[in-house]
Amino acid sequence: MKALFVIDMVNGFVKEGAMHDIKIMSIVPCIENLVREFDGDCYFIRDAHDCDAVEFKSFPSHCVKGTSESEVIDELRPYVKKEILKNSTNAFHAIDPHLYDGYDEFVLCGCCTDICVLQFALSLKTYLNQIDSNHKVKVVKAGVATYDAQHHKAEGYHSMALKLMEQSGIELI
């Protein structure tokens, strides 16, 4: 059985707010096709921070719970059936580990490649290593992107994150 995790395809990273980059819209068609054709369970992971989240010491305030920024973008909303809310960059810690028991393959897509996707992918892979599981963790290369900012050049961070995941045994598809 396979699980697909669509990570942080929310307004606050794609369309509005301090952390958004409209260029992330470029991966939406890939994700939409993936979700529509996926043979398995699909989970949409959403940043949904408390107003005073500790994370805001490292990143500007974004995706506050109950705001439009924390909602899945309209283009993908029709596909949302299962959601996981997170209050940190790493969704792994927001998921009951027993959820992973029913799957032998995990497919990841979304944003941001070098933060939320990378942290979740590495945590999931090292968890599977710890329990001696050969279950696959895969990242859809055409289905991940990161934001561009003055001190965060998307191309470099995106490429480095993909290399780190691949070196860790995560399959890039």
Q: How confident is the model at residue 150 (pLDDT cuts 50, 70, 90)?
A: confident
What are the DSSP calls for the chain, one per residue? -EEEEEE--BHHHHTSSTT--GGGGGGHHHHHHHHHH-SSEEEEEEE-B-TT-GGGGTS-S--BTTSGGGSBPTTTGGG-SEEEEESSS-GGGGS-GGGGGG-SEEEEEEE-IIIIIHHHHHHHHHHHHHTT---EEEEEEEEEE---BTTB-HHHHHHHHHHHHHHTTPEE-
> What are the tens digits of pLDDT across the range 3-53?
999 999 999 999 999 999 999 999 999 999 999 999 999 999 999 999 999
What integer pLDDT is reported at residue 152 of this predicted model?
86
% pLDDT > 70, the chain: 100
Average pLDDT, the chain: 96
